[in-house]
């Protein structure tokens, strides 16, 4: 019995394998992610401003850089999994 170490042929000839992928649905998903980032940033900014806090104060409390927090608020960066925990505490503090 012989074993072939050659790679199996690709289904399509494109660099990603699936040349006929629905690029419209990919663009729609990316658009939804951008919209979600902006919405999250808007909520974080509104909560921060409602508390009368500066970006500097919140970034220090959340242990993240001021620039990063600013980009998150503008929807330019995705919030890391570590960022929502400190901000959840800030948001809940304003509800009390």
DSSP code string of 57-80: HHHHHHTS-HHHHHHHHTTSSPPP
Query: CA-to-CA distance for 22 and 54, rounded, in angstroms?
Result: 43
- CATH at 46: 1.10.260.40
SS3 52: coil
pLDDT (tens digit per residue) in 25-81:
887 777 787 888 899 899 989 999 999 999 999 889 888 899 999 999 999 988 776
Whether 47 maps to a domain, the answer reads yes
Give the long-range contacts of residues 34-37, CB within 8 A, separation 24 or more.
Answer: 34/75, 37/72, 37/75, 37/76, 37/77, 37/78, 37/79
Which structural domain, as residue segments, surrounds residue 65?
24-95
Residue pair 51/94 in contact (Cβ under 8 Å)? The answer is yes
pLDDT at res. 42: 92
**Whether residue 13 has pLDDT greater than 50:** no
* 11 domain residue, yes or no: no
Q: What is the rounded average pLDDT of the residues 2-19? A: 50
CA angle 3, 6, 9 (to 5 degrees): 125
pTM of the model: 0.57
């Amino acid at each position: 019995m012989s074993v072939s170490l050659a790679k199996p042929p690709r289904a399509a000839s494109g660099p990603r394998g699936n040349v006929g992928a629905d690029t419209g649905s990919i663009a729609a998903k990316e658009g939804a992610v951008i919209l979600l980032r902006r919405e999250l940033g808007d909520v974080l900014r509104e909560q921060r401003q409602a508390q009368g806090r500066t970006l500097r104060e919140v970034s220090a409390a959340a242990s993240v850089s001021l620039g990063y927090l600013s980009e998150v608020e503008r929807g330019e960066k995705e919030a890391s999994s570590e960022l929502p925990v400190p901000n959840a505490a800030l948001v809940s503090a304003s509800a009390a």
